[in-house]
């Protein structure tokens, strides 16, 4: 039976029910290490709190301890399963350490993203993990946050020449993309396309340029490499690629790398719409390797971002700053880079 939540239960009432002092109840319920209470007393206090539906007041607890025991997360697009996976994995990682997670969604809008970044210090959290549209765009803001002592970890794709000015956990696409290009070339592909899917005002980093350079080294001329731009929504990727394939006719590329798995799925459907078969006529590779990729009717080859390692590293870096603010090692930003992994599946084949 759910407790009556019409009236908030006070700590004093829990203490009275358990027959202990308010300070004793507070020490036990907050699991402070200086508790001298017996196991029997602890059990009585926890039982009383559960029976009465007691929930600690986070604001009051923060005033006493200086912490909210909560972490914020800013992500780009909650409709993209990759960001849902990041949020889920980060929540599990911080929950193990006694923190809750508050998620803010940019909805792929730079206006909203800038607003959320400006309001970051007003959130009732001890620190934040940020997946921004582009860390370079917000370099000055991030540097200011670090100088002001805000607890922040930035996530993102690609490794900049100048390190991010806050703690950062980044994905390096070099190895994963190189392995994908080599696999496609071994399968006989000679005409390629790269689809960048991103919100207006943002860019795809260095991935399209890296793709061109790798193909050039493999002997593929620039005239046989098509670079396409589309919006972040799945319907935009679908329409862009369907029109491209229609315009190409029989001279369409035989291999496509899409900047994320959602765009890749849209391209698979677009290929079917114009009468092409995957992978017989067109091989497709996505990026991120969301769990869905392995369970599609035609499983999607993808370049995996190591989201479990990324979120665990982000949680470790952030909580270390929160709980050990005077540690000399924290005087400079730290950076962790994880390589990506190419996973070939049914969506790629021989020419």
What's the confidence (pLDDT) of residue 24?
87
- Name the strand (E) or helix (H) holding 90: helix 81-95
CATH of 70-172+307-340, one of 3.30.1440.10, 3.40.50.2300, 2.170.190.11, 3.30.1490.20: 3.40.50.2300
Q: Among candidates 76, 182, 188, 193, which has minimal Cα distance to 129?
A: 76
Domains 11-56 and 70-172+307-340 agree in fold: no
**DSSP assignment letter at 96:** T
The pLDDT tens digits for 52-83 are 888 776 655 654 556 788 999 999 999 999 99
Q: How confident is the model at residue 101 (pLDDT cuts 50, 70, 90)?
A: very high
Query: From CA 86, how far away is CA 137, in angstroms rounded?
Result: 22
The pLDDT tens digits for 201-211 are 565 567 888 99
CB atoms under 10 Å from CB of 116, counted, come to 19
Would you mind telling me the total number of residues written for the chain in this entry? 351
Q: Is 233's pLDDT higher than 80?
A: yes
The pLDDT tens digits for 298-327 are 999 999 999 999 999 999 999 999 999 999
Name the residue ranges covered by the structural domains of the chain: 11-56, 70-172+307-340, 174-304
Q: What stretches of the chain adopt beta strand conformation (E)?
A: 70-75, 100-105, 127-131, 152-157, 167-172, 192-197, 225-230, 255-258, 283-288, 301-304, 335-339, 341-343
What's the confidence (pLDDT) of residue 5?
45
What's the confidence (pLDDT) of residue 203?
57
Question: What's the mean pLDDT in 144-161?
Answer: 94
Most confident of 62-66, 158-162, 332-336: 332-336
Q: Among candidates 250, 241, 230, 297, which has minimal Cα distance to 270?
A: 241
Q: What's the Rg (C-alpha) of the chain?
A: 25
Query: From CA 88, how far away is CA 126, in angstroms rounded?
Result: 19
Architecture of domain 174-304 in CATH? 3-Layer(aba) Sandwich (3.40)
Q: How confident is the model at residue 120 (pLDDT cuts 50, 70, 90)?
A: confident
Question: What's the mean pLDDT in 119-133?
Answer: 91
For domain 11-56, is the CATH number 1.10.260? Answer: yes
Which range (28-32, 68-72, 183-187) has the least confidence? 28-32
> What's this model's pTM, rounded to 2 decimal places?
0.82
């Amino acid at each position: 039976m759910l407790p009556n939540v019409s009236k908030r239960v006070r700590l004093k009432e829990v203490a009275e029910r358990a027959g202990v002092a308010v300070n004793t109840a507070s020490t036990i319920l907050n699991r402070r290490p200086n508790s001298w209470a017996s196991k029997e007393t602890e059990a009585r206090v926890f039982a009383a709190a559960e029976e009465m539906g007691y929930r600690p007041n986070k604001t009051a607890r923060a005033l006493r301890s200086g912490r909210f025991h909560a972490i914020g997360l800013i992500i780009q697009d909650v409709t993209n399963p990759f960001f849902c996976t990041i949020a889920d994995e980060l929540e599990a990682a911080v929950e193990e350490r006694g923190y809750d997670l508050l998620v803010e969604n940019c909805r792929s809008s730079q206006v909203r993203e800038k607003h959320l970044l400006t309001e970051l210090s007003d959130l009732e959290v001890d620190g934040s993990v940020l997946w921004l549209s582009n860390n370079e765009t917000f370099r000055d803001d991030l540097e200011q946050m670090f100088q002001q002592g805000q607890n922040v970890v930035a996530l993102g794709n690609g490794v900049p020449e100048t390190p991010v000015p806050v703690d950062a956990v980044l994905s390096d696409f070099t190895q994963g993309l190189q392995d994908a290009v080599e696999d496609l070339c071994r399968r006989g592909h000679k005409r390629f396309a790269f689809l960048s899917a991103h919100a207006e005002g943002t860019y795809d980093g260095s991935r399209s340029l890296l793709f061109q350079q790798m193909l050039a080294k493999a002997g593929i001329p620039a005239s046989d490499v098509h670079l396409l731009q589309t919006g972040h929504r799945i319907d935009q990727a679908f329409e862009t690629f369907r029109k491209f394939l229609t315009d190409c006719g029989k001279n369409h590329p035989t291999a496509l790398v899409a900047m994320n798995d959602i765009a890749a799925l849209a391209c698979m459907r677009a290929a079917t719409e114009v009468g092409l078969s995957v992978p017989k006529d067109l091989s497709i590779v996505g990026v991120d390797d969301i769990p869905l990729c392995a369970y599609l009717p035609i499983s999607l080859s993808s370049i995996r971002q190591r989201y479990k390692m990324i979120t665990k590293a982000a949680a470790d870096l952030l909580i270390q700053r929160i709980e050990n603010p005077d540690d000399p090692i924290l005087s400079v930003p730290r950076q962790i880079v994880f390589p990506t992994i190419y996973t070939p599946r049914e969506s790629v084949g021989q020419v």
